[in-house]
Structure formats: structure tokens, C-alpha cells
């Protein structure tokens, strides 16, 4: 006997979607930091307990959420970043699917606290800017609040007991150390891309990273690179900044002599978003092939910028993948730009002065 067709409850739909977006504490941290960056924050505090599975909190000083929109922020397919299909062709924000908060909330105990940042140019923004409000998600998925809370301008999201209601997923969590290593890696990736945002990461009360905001000076950015990738990174690297018609590649590559035995320092961003892409990896490997021993791995922090219409980021919910419209052109541009810089760099090494 067949069962009747039914429409799934929102709560269940969110839990199913959470399977795609929320794999472990680190994926929660990624989504929350991306929201903070999209909110234009200048500082971020990330507080993690027991690898993040017990409790994690991301606090920012971004523009905040008005109290009448707190519930909406937790609703499925609710976003302030996209209004029509045409916007998808030119997404400038890290998020746009309106899935992260409801998904996370469906598999944890989540509290969202926010206070609107007063904006002198916007008369509407201070309608609630002098107080903070909070909503919590109750066990059955219903919302508690909004109720008044204490919070400086900006937003905090606290996530406790991740996967408490989905034991099968909870079982896949690894040791506290492994989970925290993943969190740290996520923080590192975002911190490399956004040096102008001050950041503090704490684990079990201990400060793991404390990164001041880098002003425009190259030394300030280099200091951040060294804090995140080990002292000496910037000194051992060649900087690169090459533009072609629609494409710009900038960042740093470690000189081949300082390549790695592991592929553990490979950070490639497309319009500010860290991605993994076979085509890009291939172009980089090709560029290094004349300079590097087979068993060694190049190390780099590279940023590719191109008009949003030339790249599709809506390939997977976690947005690690992209599709380039002109993939051949992108491949060859990256390969040539790096090859040229590496051959200049090896001359420079003899001369010690790199220009």
C-alpha cells in the first residue's frame, strides 16, 4: 500500500538542507563569518568550546538586524542579498541562498542577538539602534522572542550542542582537536582574504589568533600572512599583481625553493571566495612545473578577480565550486602570469633584489 504524498514541514526541510551546508562545527563558523563579512563588519570575535560541538559564537560589529527582521533571518529562503534572478548574475556577497541560519538552527540550539549599527546616512536605521534584541530557537523549532538583550552594535550568533537532535550526524564528529583544526582552517582562509577585518579566535578560553586590522600598508598585510602561515612566509614569497582585459591575478607565491612537502598552503580566491577548482590547480601546477621538483607542492595565496557575469558561483550550496564562462582563457591567464613571475623571481634570487 503506498503512502500518501505530503509536504514536509519547514523544520524537516531545514534539517535535510542542513545535510548539505552543515557538515561540522567548521562549516557553521564559515557560514557565520561570511554573514558577518557581508554585514560589513570591521572586527570579528570567534569563540569556540570543545572543538565547536559544545558551543561556538561569532560576534561582529556589522550593520546588525532590526528586531522585526530577526525571525525572518532564521526563516528558510529569506535573504537580504538577492531579490531577483538577475542579481544572481552579479552576486557581490558571500551568501545569497538564505539557507545557512535556518539550516544551522534546525540542528542546534541557536541564539541570534543583534543591535542595529547607527548609520548617519540612513534615517531609518536608528529606529531600534539604541537597544539590542535576541531570538532563540526552541526545541520544537519555534522561535522564542524577540526579547531585549545586552549587546553592542552588531550581531552575535551562538550555536550550542550541534547535532544534538540528529545523533547519526553527531556520530561523525571527530575529536575535539580535529574539529578545532577544521575551524582554524576556515578562519585562516577567511582571514587571508580580508586583512582589513580585525579578528580574534579563541578555543576553550585561550586566544589562538589575534589579528589586528591591516590598514592599506603592504607590511601590515604581510604581518598577517606571517601570523597565519608561519613567520617567513612573506619574506620567502614573490608578490604578484597582473591584469589582462577582464582578469586580475594578485597575491603571493612562495619561491620554489620554499615549496612544501604537503599541499597545505594553497589558497585560491575568486572574487574573494575561496574555491577549489581542477582547472585552476592545473594552471598553477603547469606554471610551477619548470621550477619545482615533482614531489614538492607549491604554496600560494592568490586572488583572481573578474566580472561576476564571467563566473557562476551557484554550483553547490557550500559554494566551494565555480564555473568559469571562459575557462580556457582563465586557465592560460593564470598559468602565464605565474610563469612570468616565477622566472623573474628566480633571476631576482641571484640578484637578491626583486623588482
Residues 17-76 that bind Mg ion (CB under 5 A): 35
How far is residue 91 from each of residues 100, 144, 163, 189, 329, measured CA to CA in Å?
17, 32, 31, 20, 22
* 62 near ligand ADP, judged by CB under 6 A: yes
Query: Which helix (H) or strand (E) is 95 found in, with range?
Result: none
User: For residue 79, which phi and psi values (nearest 5 degrees)?
Assistant: -145, 150
Of 18 and 100, CB closest to Mg ion:
100
* Residue among 29, 44, 100, 228 that touches Mg ion (CB under 5 A): 100
Would you count residue 52 as binding ligand ADP (CB under 6 A)? no
80 makes contact with ligand ADP (CB under 6 A)? yes
Question: Considering only 74-82, 214-222, 295-303, 330-338, which stretch makes contact with ligand ADP by CB under 6 A?
Answer: 74-82
73 interacts with ligand ADP by CB under 6 A: yes
Q: Which is nearer to ligand ADP, 64 or 298 (CB)?
A: 64
CB of 344 to Mg ion, least distance (A): 40
Shortest distance, position 91 Cβ to ligand ADP, whole Å? 10
Cα–Cα dist 129/33, whole Å: 22
Single out the segment in contact with ligand ADP by CB under 6 A; choices: 35-43, 140-148, 244-252, 335-343.
35-43
- 169 makes contact, choosing from Mg ion, ligand ADP, none, with CB < 5 to 8 Å by partner type, with none
Among positions 36, 222, 236, 265, the unique one binding ligand ADP when judged by CB under 6 A: 36
Q: Which is nearer to ligand ADP, 246 or 312 (CB)?
A: 312
Chain Cα centroid distance, residue 222: 20
**Residue 173 and residue 170: Cα distance in Å, rounded?**
6
Q: Is 98 in the site for ligand ADP (CB under 6 A)?
A: yes
| Assigned C-alpha cell, 306 | 573578474
Check residue 153 for interaction with ligand ADP (CB under 6 A).
Answer: no
Binding to ligand ADP (CB under 6 A): which residues in 284-323?
A: none
Burial class (CB in 10 A: 0-12, 13-18, 19+), 276: exposed
Tell me if 22 contacts ligand ADP by CB under 6 A: no
Shorter beta-carbon distance to Mg ion: residue 100 or 337: 100
CB 180 within 8 A of CB 203: yes
- Report how far residue 107's alpha carbon sits from residue 22's, in angstroms, rounded to the nearest whole number: 9
Question: Positive or negative, the Cα torsion across 157, 35, 170, 172?
Answer: negative
The strands making up 248-254's β-sheet, listed across from edge to edge, are 237-243, 248-254, 300-305, 266-270, 273-274
* Partner from ligand ADP, Mg ion, none contacting 36, C-beta within 5 to 8 A by type: ligand ADP
Q: CA 83 to CA 96: how far, in whole Å?
A: 9
Q: Which of 348, 193, 191, 331 is nearest to 256 (CA)?
A: 348
Q: Which three cell numbers stand for residue 154?
A: 552588531
Interface residues toward ligand ADP, by CB under 6 A: 31, 35-36, 39, 60, 62-65, 73, 78-81, 95-101, 155
Per CB under 5 A, residues contacting Mg ion are 35, 95, 100
Amino acid at each position: 500500500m503506498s503512502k500518501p504524498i505530503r509536504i514536509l514541514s519547514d523544520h524537516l526541510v531545514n534539517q535535510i538542507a542542513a545535510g548539505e551546508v552543515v557538515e561540522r562545527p567548521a562549516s557553521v563558523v564559515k557560514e557565520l563569518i561570511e554573514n558577518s563579512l557581508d554585514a560589513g563588519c570591521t572586527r570579528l570575535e570567534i569563540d569556540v568550546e570543545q572543538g565547536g560541538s559544545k558551543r561556538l559564537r561569532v560576534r561582529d560589529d556589522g550593520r546588525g538586524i532590526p528586531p522585526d527582521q530577526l525571525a525572518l533571518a532564521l526563516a528558510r529562503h529569506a535573504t537580504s542579498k538577492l531579490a531577483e534572478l538577475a542579481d544572481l548574475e552579479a552576486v557581490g556577497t558571500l551568501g545569497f541562498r538564505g539557507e545557512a541560519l535556518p539550516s544551522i538552527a534546525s540542528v542546534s540550539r541557536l541564539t541570534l542577538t543583534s543591535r542595529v549599527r547607527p548609520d548617519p546616512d540612513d534615517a531609518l536605521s536608528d529606529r531600534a539602534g539604541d537597544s539590542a534584541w535576541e531570538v532563540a530557537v526552541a526545541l520544537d523549532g519555534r522561535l522564542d522572542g524577540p526579547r531585549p538583550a545586552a549587546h553592542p552594535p552588531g550581531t552575535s550568533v551562538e550555536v550550542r550542542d550541534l547535532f544534538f537532535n540528529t545523533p547519526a550526524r553527531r556520530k561523525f564528529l571527530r575529536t575535539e582537536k580535529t574539529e578545532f583544526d577544521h575551524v582554524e582552517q576556515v578562519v585562516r582562509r577567511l582571514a587571508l582574504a580580508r586583512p582589513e577585518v580585525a579578528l580574534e579566535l579563541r578555543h576553550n578560553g585561550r586566544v589562538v589568533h589575534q589579528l589586528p586590522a591591516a590598514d592599506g600598508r603592504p607590511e601590515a598585510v604581510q604581518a598577517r600572512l606571517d601570523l597565519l602561515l608561519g613567520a617567513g612566509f612573506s619574506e620567502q614569497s614573490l608578490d604578484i599583481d597582473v591584469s589582462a582585459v577582464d582578469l586580475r591575478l594578485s597575491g603571493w607565491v612562495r619561491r620554489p625553493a620554499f615549496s612544501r612537502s604537503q599541499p597545505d598552503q594553497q589558497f585560491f580566491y575568486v572574487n574573494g571566495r575561496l574555491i577549489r577548482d581542477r582547472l585552476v590547480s592545473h594552471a598553477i601546477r603547469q606554471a610551477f612545473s619548470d621550477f619545482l621538483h615533482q614531489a614538492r607542492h607549491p604554496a600560494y595565496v592568490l586572488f583572481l578577480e573578474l566580472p561576476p557575469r564571467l563566473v557562476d558561483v551557484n554550483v553547490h550550496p557550500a559554494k566551494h565550486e565555480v564555473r568559469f564562462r571562459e575557462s580556457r582563457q582563465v586557465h592560460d591567464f593564470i598559468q602565464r602570469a605565474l610563469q612570468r613571475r616565477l622566472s623573474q623571481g628566480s633571476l631576482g634570487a641571484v640578484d637578491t633584489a626583486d623588482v
